[in-house]
Amino acid sequence: MKKRSDLAASGEQNAATFEDLIGLGSQSARKSYYPELERKVHELEQERNRYKWLFENALHGIFRADMAGGIQVANPAIARLCGYASPAEVIARVRDLPTQLFVDPGEFAAIRQMLLASQRLIGYETRLRCRDGGTVDVAMNILLKQGEGGEIIEAFVADYTERKRARERLQQLNAELEQRVAERTEELLELNEQLRLARDAAQAANQSKDKYLAAASHDLLQPMNAARLLVSTLRERELAGQDGYLIERIHLALEGAEDLLTDLLDISRLDQNAVRPDLAEFSLQSILEPLAAELQPVAASEGLQLRLQSSSLTIRSDSRLLTRILRNFLSNALRYTPRGKVVLGVRNRGDRVSIQVWDSGDGIADSKLEDIFCEFHQLPDHHAGDRRGVGLGLAIVDRIARVLEHPIEVRSTQGRGSMFAVEVPRVAGSVPVAVPVQPGVPADTLAGTRVLVVDNDESVLLSMCALLEQWGCELSVARDVDAALALCRDCAGEGHEARPQLLLADYHLDWGRTGLEVVQALRQLYGSEFPAAMITADRSADTLRLFREQDLPVLPKPVRPGKLRALLTHLLQAPAPTQRGA
Domain containing 84 — which CATH number? 3.30.450.20
- 92 Cβ contact partners less than 8 Å away, ≥ 6 residues apart: none
- 319 Cβ contact partners less than 8 Å away, ≥ 6 residues apart: 280, 282, 286, 287
189 and 155 housed in the same domain: no
Which domain CATH number covers 222? 1.10.287.130
- Res. 555 pLDDT band, cuts 50 70 90: confident
pLDDT of 413 reads: 83
202 and 218 housed in the same domain: yes
Domain end, chosen from 228, 247, 274, is at 274
For 124, the enclosing helix (H) or strand (E) is: strand 120-129
471 and 392 housed in the same domain: no
pLDDT of 208 reads: 67
Q: Would you give the DSSP letter of residue 496?
A: G
552 and 566 housed in the same domain: yes
Asked if the structure places residue 49 within a domain, the reply is no
Note whether 296 and 303 are within 8 A (CB): no
Asked if the structure places residue 362 within a domain, the reply is yes
> Could you please report the per-residue DSSP string of 151-216?
EEEEEEEEE-HHHHHHHHHHHHHHHHHHHHHHHHHHHHHHHHHHHHHHHHHHHHHHHHHHHHHHHH
268 and 226 housed in the same domain: yes
Give 492-523 pLDDT, tens digit per residue. 655 556 788 889 999 888 888 888 999 988 88
Residue 60 has pLDDT above 90, yes or no: no
Domain end, chosen from 129, 159, 189, is at 159
Per the structure, the count of domains in the chain is 4
The pTM of this model reads: 0.49
Please list the residues that pair with 124 across neighbouring strands.
140
Give the pLDDT mean for 130-136.
90
Q: How many other C-beta atoms lie within 10 A of the C-beta of residue 469?
A: 13
Residue 383 has pLDDT above 70, yes or no: no
Asked if the structure places residue 165 within a domain, the reply is no
For residue 190, give its domain range.
178-274
Per DSSP, helices labelled H in 302-383 are 319-335
331 and 299 housed in the same domain: yes
Give 165-198 pLDDT, tens digit per residue. 888 888 889 988 999 998 998 889 988 988 888 8
151 and 182 housed in the same domain: no
Give 335-382 pLDDT, tens digit per residue. 888 888 899 999 988 889 999 999 988 888 777 777 676 655 566 554
414 and 293 housed in the same domain: yes
Strands in 365-500 per DSSP E: 408-413, 417-427, 450-454, 474-478
Asked if the structure places residue 182 within a domain, the reply is yes
Asked if the structure places residue 46 within a domain, the reply is no
Domain end, chosen from 244, 274, 304, is at 274
